[in-house]
């Protein structure tokens, strides 16, 4: 059982929905980024998605693209991202960390070496948005053999013919992207999301977490109420981009988490 599996079992026993927060590793700089990540669990974050900066983030909107660029400008690398996770683990051995990004930096490092280093750093799962199920032998299967969850994205365009393929070899949870398009582009709707979540849950026992388009505690509650939890990314990254203090950022995250946990 991974930390992700254990967290969902714990939440289910408590009758609570999950709140997942995404931040870009190294944004706005390494020191402040680590301070934010360390404070997330205390703000009510159940699972941390740690963005891996990349030069060509094709699935991301301007907010997360710019966050990745800020991180890269401050010298953030795959190794420093793993170092950040390892540093976090010194004080927290229970909160799951999902590394989210693109395959190129992992491929460049070498899959075998990456997996050894990622497990050692305390990474629990991977979301690699540019690796489709047809490429499972590249990273998905080796990652699961190494003890990590491999989390797949489903979208409004994932039809009933495609869905079984997407769910094959997926573990940890399914990340349902509530809108078509790039991150940070539009607001999610509980009414639209509910039937899609039900459709996915009819095909899998995995928790379904919904992200994209959640910016307020009320919206976090609305979306979490029709799923197993919600993810907030661009809205948190935007707070960081505005130069707000760690305390201000964490207060915002705590309000979102409270909304999700009210569902």
Q: What residue ranges define each of the domains in the chain, with the CATH number in brackets? A: 3-262 (3.20.20.70)
Helices (H) and strands (E) in the chain, counts: 12, 9
Tokens found for residue 263:
């569902």
pLDDT on residue 59: 82
Question: Quick one: which H or E segment has residue 122?
Answer: none
Does 60 qualify as catalytic in the annotation? yes
pLDDT on residue 183: 61
pLDDT on residue 176: 96
pLDDT on residue 186: 64
pLDDT on residue 60: 87
Q: Rounded to whole angstroms, what are the CA distances from 194 to 144, 209, 223, 237, 262?
A: 29, 11, 8, 26, 17
pLDDT on residue 61: 86
Choosing from 27, 60, 136, 228, which is the catalytic residue?
60
For 181, how many CA atoms within 13 A lie in the half-sphere containing its CB? 11
Choosing from 27, 46, 49, 117, which is the catalytic residue?
49
pLDDT on residue 185: 60
How far apart CA 56 and CA 198 sit, in angstroms, is: 33
Q: Residue for token digits 């699972």?
A: 47
Nearest to 175 by CA among 254, 119, 230: 230
How much is the pTM?
A: 0.96
Please name the residues in contact with 14: beta carbons below 8 A apart, sequence gap of 6 or more: none
From first to last of its 263 residues, the chain has per-residue pLDDT tens of 999 999 999 999 999 999 999 999 999 999 999 999 999 999 999 999 999 999 999 888 899 999 999 999 999 999 999 999 999 999 999 999 999 999 999 999 999 999 999 999 999 999 999 999 999 999 999 999 999 999 999 999 999 999 999 999 999 999 999 876 656 566 778 888 999 999 999 999 999 999 988 999 999 999 999 999 999 999 999 999 999 999 999 999 999 999 999 99
pLDDT on residue 184: 58
Strands in the chain per DSSP E: 18-24, 47-51, 97-101, 125-128, 149-150, 152-154, 174-177, 208-211, 229-232
* Backbone φ and ψ of 176, nearest 5°: -90, 120
Which strands, in side-by-side order, build the sheet including 149-150? Answer: 149-150, 125-128, 97-101, 47-51, 18-24, 229-232, 208-211, 174-177, 152-154
pLDDT on residue 132: 94
How far apart CA 156 and CA 158 sit, in angstroms, is: 6
């Amino acid at each position: 059982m991974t930390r992700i599996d254990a967290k969902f079992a714990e939440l289910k026993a408590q009758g609570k929905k999950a709140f997942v927060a995404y931040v870009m590793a190294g944004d706005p700089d390494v020191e402040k980024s680590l301070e934010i990540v360390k404070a997330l669990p205390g703000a009510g974050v159940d699972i941390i998605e740690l963005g891996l900066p990349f030069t060509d983030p094709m699935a991301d909107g301007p907010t997360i693209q710019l966050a990745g660029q800020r991180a890269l400008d401050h010298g953030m690398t795959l190794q420093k991202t793993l170092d950040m996770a390892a540093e976090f683990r010194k004080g927290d051995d229970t909160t799951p960390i999902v590394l989210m990004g693109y395959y190129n930096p992992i491929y460049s490092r070498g899959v075998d070496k990456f997996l050894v280093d990622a497990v050692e750093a305390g990474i629990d799962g991977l979301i690699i948005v540019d690796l489709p199920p047809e490429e499972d032998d590249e990273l998905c299967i080796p990652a699961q053999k190494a003890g990590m969850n491999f989390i797949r994205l489903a979208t409004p365009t994932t039809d009933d013919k495609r869905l079984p393929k997407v769910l094959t070899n997926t573990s940890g949870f399914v990340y349902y992207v509530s809108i078509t398009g790039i991150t940070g582009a539009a607001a999610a709707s509980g009414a639209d999301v509910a039937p899609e979540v039900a459709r996915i849950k009819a095909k899998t026992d995995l928790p379904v977490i919904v992200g994209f388009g959640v910016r307020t505690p009320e919206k976090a509650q609305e979306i979490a109420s029709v799923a197993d939890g919600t993810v907030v990314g661009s809205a948190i990254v935007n707070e960081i981009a505005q130069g707000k203090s760690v305390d201000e950022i964490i207060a915002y995250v705590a309000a979102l988490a409270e909304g999700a946990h009210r569902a």
